[in-house]
């Protein structure tokens, strides 16, 4: 993998990752662009004890441009995009409309009893364009290209973890208009959060409580071992990865993918697991596209990497980062052909999910559509 860093016209960083060591990246972004103005703020919700980002500038972000105006396609004569080169393997650049950006600042409190806490929305948001082919999807990549994306996620995680104020790095892909994607070009994003996310905080609390319970042990390890022993929800059982539909799946079709050897983050992943990952992950994505039948449009999904926080101080409930288990969660909001799973009153109002598809049935179906 060859890595080449450059700058866009407004000063944002762009990084090319190429399969060939002979790749040369010299194209210059000549667009007349003003400096980026991202006024991000985070505000604390005292009832839920979690942070919320407030980002008015994101209202102006690009929304469903036509294919010939896609900002993630390579640039060409007379039409410059966010990527100045005429072709590329994988490109990563700072988001022009970031949810979090810049160095950390002082937290302040206002109002009665100081309940209104706020701080600059520090951190970094990046766009990862998986391929220069506008009409492809991640599932269309070959194993060499998918491995390159894994190496990119790993490198960016390491880079962002060293950024001032970043406490957690989140690599993810949203696919499909039903999910809310506003650019159809195959791409993902990486967020460097200035705090440990609410979901991870809850997981860490459960991890600590389980370790301090009668049986002790690591909750991640015991959960994966229990799913493997049960067997009926296992979708793919590889040498270095296990993919299964969780016992209490929230979504109609939801798969969790764990490396056999527990590691806290992508940079800690061993070579054997790296080598096996592309084949298993591509197979999962292709099964998701087949699960509703050949006449259905591509399945919308979210693919999310969960990694241990990189906070300077250990996160609550996590005495040692090595106790956390890196894993990927893949799920779709489609519950049946032509039908979506909407977050209704119970899910949105009380965070109580109601799943219409039994996890065992979902796992069975995902095994049926194997390549």
| CB neighbour class for 226 (10 Å; exposed up to 12, middle 13-18, buried from 19) | exposed
Q: Find where tokens 């909750």 sit.
A: 219
- What DSSP element (H or E) covers 191? strand 187-193
Length reported for the chain = 371
Q: Find where tokens 């009409």 sit.
A: 135
Is 44 an active-site residue? no
Choosing from 57, 118, 185, 187, the catalytic residue is 187
Nearest to 241 by CA among 269, 268, 219, 218: 269
- The 10 Å CB-count burial string (b at 16+, else e) for 319-338 is eebebbbbbbbbbbbbbeee
Nearest to 284 by CA among 355, 358, 367, 359: 367
Cα 346 to Cα 199, 306, 352: the distances in Å are 18, 25, 5
CA 363 to chain CA centroid, nearest Å: 22
User: Which residues are known to be catalytic?
Assistant: 187
């Amino acid at each position: 993998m060859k890595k080449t860093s450059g700058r866009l016209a407004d000063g944002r960083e762009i990084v090319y990752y190429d399969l060939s060591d002979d790749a040369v990246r010299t194209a210059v972004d000549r667009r007349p662009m003003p400096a980026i103005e991202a006024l991000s703020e985070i505000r604390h919700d005292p009832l839920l004890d979690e942070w919320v980002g407030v980002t008015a500038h994101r209202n102006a972000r690009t929304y469903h441009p036509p294919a010939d105006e896609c900002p993630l396609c390579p640039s060409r004569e007379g039409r410059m995009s966010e990527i100045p080169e005429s072709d590329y393997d994988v490109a990563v650049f700072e988001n022009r409309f970031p949810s979090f950006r810049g160095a950390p600042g002082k937290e302040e409190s206002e109002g009665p009893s100081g309940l209104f806490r706020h701080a600059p929305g520090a951190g970094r948001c990046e766009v990862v364009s998986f391929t220069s082919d506008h009409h492809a999807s991640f599932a269309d990549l070959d194993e060499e290209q998918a491995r390159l994306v894994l190496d990119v996620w790993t490198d960016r995680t390491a880079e962002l973890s060293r950024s001032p104020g970043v406490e957690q790095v989140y690599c993810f892909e949203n696919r499909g208009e039903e999910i809310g994607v506003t650019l159809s070009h195959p791409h993902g994003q990486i967020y460097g959060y200035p705090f440990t996310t609410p979901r991870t905080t809850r997981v860490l609390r459960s991890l600590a409580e389980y370790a301090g319970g009668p049986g002790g042990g690591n909750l991640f390890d015991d959960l994966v071992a229990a799913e493997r022993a049960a067997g009926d929800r296992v979708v793919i059982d590889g040498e270095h990865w296990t993919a299964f539909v969780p016992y209490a799946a929230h979504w109609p079709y939801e798969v969790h993918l764990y490396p056999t050897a527990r590691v806290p983050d992508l940079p800690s992943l061993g070579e054997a697991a790296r080598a096996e990952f592309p084949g298993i992950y591509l197979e999962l994505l292709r099964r998701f596209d087949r699960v509703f039948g050949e006449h259905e449009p591509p399945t919308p999904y979210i693919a999310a990497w969960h990694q241990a926080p990189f906070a300077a101080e250990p996160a609550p409930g996590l005495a040692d980062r090595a106790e956390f288990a890196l894993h990927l969660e893949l799920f779709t909001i489609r519950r049946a052909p032509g039908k979506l799973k909407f977050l209704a009153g119970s899910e949105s109002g009380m965070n109580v999910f109601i799943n219409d598809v039994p996890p065992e049935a979902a796992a069975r179906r995902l095994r049926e559509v194997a390549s």
